[in-house]
Chain A
Amino acid sequence: MIQDIITPQAKHFADNAQTVLRGHENRSRRVVLLKGSLVQNARSESRGISARVTRNGRYGFSSVASYTEKDAETVLKAATENALFLDSRAAKARAGYPPLPAGAVPAFRPVIDTEQKRLVEACQAIDQYIADKYPGLLSRTVVYTEDSQDKIIVTSDAASGHVTYPRCYIYVMMTAGSKAGAPVELFKAFGGAGCFDDHFADLKALEPGIDKLYSQLMDKCEGVYAEAGEQTVILGGMMGGMLAHEAVGHTVEADLVLGGSVAGPNLRKRVASDLVTLVDFAGEAFGKPAPLPVYLDDEGTLAKDAVLIQDGILTGYMHSRESAAHFGMEPMGNARAWAFNDEPLIRMRNTCILPGTHPLDEMIASIDKGYYLIDSGNGQADLTGEFMFGVTLGYEIRNGKLGKALLDTTVSGIAFDMLKTVDMVSDNVTWSSSGFCGKKQPMPVGMGGPDMRCRITIGGR
């Protein structure tokens, strides 16, 4: 973990300015085995210091890729000069933002380095298991990926602290041939927040998940195309999480609200059925650590849960300190930066639609003709809430029972229209946390949801 040379530098903070000084290290480890060949075997670390200085509502930011007391002074000076440059050319001052309560957040989770040898051996063991048990695959890929952030944040007018965010995953990807000879793919991520031994001390624990993935792939090889058009579906928890993040979450980020998102005119209005409540969790969710817990953001805001939709009514946005002041709302700790040279942006943390009361079996039994859409490979959404998700795993529902698997398809719609059609919500939540959200910078995010019965448009010919 990085040493705290940052805190003493507060003595260099300028008067009449709001300042954040951040020491920041990112680490990554990556091993890729493609059909048994080691195609990537790499380690990376980058570290630096940044300063953000706000004067008359304008931000100056500077960073250097080194980590000494002198570097801290350098970036404070450069950031101040940048803020002055903008201020000197502006016709009028921008609105500022008020100070926040002070506080100190201690480091809560160490970043433990694991020998590269163990990472390679883990991938080899999993690859060998797949190669031995499933020799008929066209291709198999095993990826170990780990990234961590270690930050010391010191502010002039808010909270400070030392926070760490390690996470690691093993991805298993399989490709098989359909009856027609076309390649069919599926993948699954194992792991989560924490370090290698938190998840992969016992690799045998992954085998049931790998076996299930293979079984689903074989189903998909016999798969059929979904019928295009508006259909009754059950969106699985992974799909629900994608919806929560892409189609709703982004539209309620305050910078995008200011940019004209559909959430602007819909505050305090009904945007979903009353079965839908959406929360961006900070440190804990449902009495346990959230998938990727956040306790302090990079503006010095102590993190709290942000309730975005309550019983179908749009109740709030996610904020930076500046946007919160603009809207007269409370900042909840959503301003985050990925690397030492990144400025904080409004980002989601662990965005989740809350569970309901229905068992999944009951929901499936309630549908005569429809689809159970389980997993998504990608998703995109627009300011208008128009979304598109790729569906990589799903099944027909016929007469209340699961039928044939589906070949890849897509679903689309307008989030606030589609969410009003939700009429059953399952009693469980499925989380995913392995991805990055992209918005100028990458950012690890958690997203989750229950199974939801709704109407949605399925693409196809």
Chain B
Amino acid sequence: MNDILKVSDQLTALLRAQGVGIYETCVSESEKQELNTEKADFNLFRTIFNCGVSVTVIQDGKKGAASGNDLSEAGLEKVVADAMAAMASAIPDEANVIAEREEPEVFRTGCYEADMPRLYDSVKAMMDTIGSDYPRVNLMTVIADHTNSHKIYVNSNGTRFEHFDGAYSVGVEMSGSDGEKNTGLDYAGVVTHDLSTPLLSQGSLTQHLKDTEASLNSVPLPGKFEGTVILTPDCLGNFIYMLASNYIMGSVIMEGTSQWLNRLGEQVASDKVTLSLKAQDDRLATAQPFTGDGYRSEDVTVIDKGILNTFLLSLYAAKKTGRPVTKNTSFALVMEPGDTSFADMIASVEKGLIVGGFSGGQPGANGEFSGVAKNSFYVENGRIVGAVTETMINGNLENVFKNVIAVSREQVCDGSSVLPWLSCGGIVISGK
């Protein structure tokens, strides 16, 4: 292991020796231990030692950046030289600045030390339970790891953040199989600090297993109709990401292609929608105490009861557009719960789908989307009829969050987000 405090100081000295007045650096090291299974049999154990160094330099409005993983003196000299070369070639831009000074702080989050025998036993117990309780689930792969990292961020305004972090991550790829019948692929995962709670009690792992078995019984869905869609928490996370990419993130604000460009403070979604980014929420295992720009992270409510509060802007995007910077780059999503139970949500659907996944890519700038509903179930007269295949859903991204019928009171925390089920109307559903 390297002494990255010393490396960080060496880097600062090199930059000062080059006469660089404005800079930021990040030095990190990490260790990942990862267990892999194939068909419920452990087949691969990986140990990965990694490190990294990144340097950004600014002079006369010109910015250059370089990164590498060689922490030797020669490696640091090269990354500084590369950053300087990039800066020399750059175009001056007044938006190239670094964050103001923040009080230095050392952050310690999560579980830094790995307990691999215990992780092995937890995964083994999970696979044994799946084998006995979900015999028609084909457990394709499980990837379970512990990763710890130690990172130091420094900038020339005097900010120095140090972060020690560690977490376990478990991802399960599965399909259903019963004689001649097979389902598509499904995936579920959790990030956690907690190996004392059975893995199947965390996140939505158990729900995915049930859904995979239920997907073996598919029903034809002929024709086309406009109906209600209930997005599962996993699928809702995907839709929120698409929403952010189309309307809220810095790139579309800088491009000027966001349809919400002039709608700050306005009602852009149903008043049932309150959506935040919470980098240090106790329920989450993906802590990000400071941003990539070097700000101490702050919780940000992006949409509050349907009102658009803020865009998601890096320091550069903020300066470029004359708007305030967003001091949160975590994408740790938390949507506030509603007052309807998931069961009541289903019961109120006359005709529609529970959508567990969306295969459709990023919608165009106008928000129109069209794609295949994956891991989805047809609902009629308040009752789940069966799984569907070859079924498409079409609609407008903005309208999904405007035409909200209900938000569930239940939330699912998978360690990286806390999300409810959300039902919305006006979606065109077409079978084969």
- CB-CB under 8 A from A262, the residues of chain B are 182
Chain A interface size, as a band, is 35 or more
Instruction: List the B residue with the shortest CB-CB distance to A50.
Output: B48
Instruction: List the A residue with the shortest CB-CB distance to B394.
Output: A461
- CB-CB under 8 A from A386, the residues of chain B are 184, 372, 389-390
The answer for the CA separation of A408 and B371 in the assembled complex, in Å, is 12
- CB-CB under 8 A from A413, the residues of chain B are 390
Flag the segment in B88-96, B195-203, B335-343 that touches A: B88-96
With A410-B392, A412-B392 as contacts: A48 and B371 at CB distance below 8 Å: no
Question: Quick one: which of B336-389 are within 8 Å of A by CB?
Answer: 359-366, 368, 370-372, 374, 389
Closest-CB distance, A322 to chain B (whole angstroms): 9
- CB-CB under 8 A from B149, the residues of chain A are none
The answer for the CA separation of A320 and B56 in the assembled complex, in Å, is 41
- Whether A269 is near chain B, meaning CB under 8 Å from some CB there, is no
- Whether A131 is near chain B, meaning CB under 8 Å from some CB there, is no
Instruction: List the A residue with the shortest CB-CB distance to B395.
Output: A461
- CB-CB under 8 A from A16, the residues of chain B are none
- Whether A388 is near chain B, meaning CB under 8 Å from some CB there, is yes
- CB-CB under 8 A from B389, the residues of chain A are 384, 386
Closest-CB distance, B56 to chain A (whole angstroms): 9
Give the contacting residue for A59; candidates B44, B50, B141, B372; CB below 8 A: B44
Closest-CB distance, A419 to chain B (whole angstroms): 15
With A139-B256, A228-B224 as contacts: A37 and B93 at CB distance below 8 Å: yes
B372 and A388 within 8 A (CB): yes
A259 and B184 within 8 A (CB): no
B385-429 near A? 1/0 per residue, CB < 8 Å: 000011010100000000000000000000000000000000010
- Whether B157 is near chain A, meaning CB under 8 Å from some CB there, is no
Flag the segment in A83-91, A161-169, A349-357 that touches B: A83-91
A112-156 near B? 1/0 per residue, CB < 8 Å: 000111011100100000000000001101000000000000000
- CB-CB under 8 A from B72, the residues of chain A are 66
B64 and A260 within 8 A (CB): no
Question: Quick one: which of A405-421 are within 8 Å of B by CB?
Answer: 407-410, 412-414
The answer for the CA separation of A399 and B140 in the assembled complex, in Å, is 49
A37 and B320 within 8 A (CB): yes
> What are 11 A-B contacts with C-beta separation under 8 Å?
A38-B91, A44-B67, A58-B43, A62-B46, A116-B88, A141-B255, A183-B365, A228-B430, A259-B138, A382-B185, A386-B184
10 tightest CB-CB pairs across the interface, nearest first? A378-B361, A117-B89, A183-B365, A259-B140, A459-B370, A382-B184, A82-B45, A182-B366, A61-B46, A42-B65
10 more CB-based (< 8 A) A-B contacts, given A86-B44, A116-B86, A461-B394: A43-B66, A83-B45, A89-B42, A115-B89, A116-B64, A141-B255, A383-B182, A383-B185, A388-B372, A461-B428
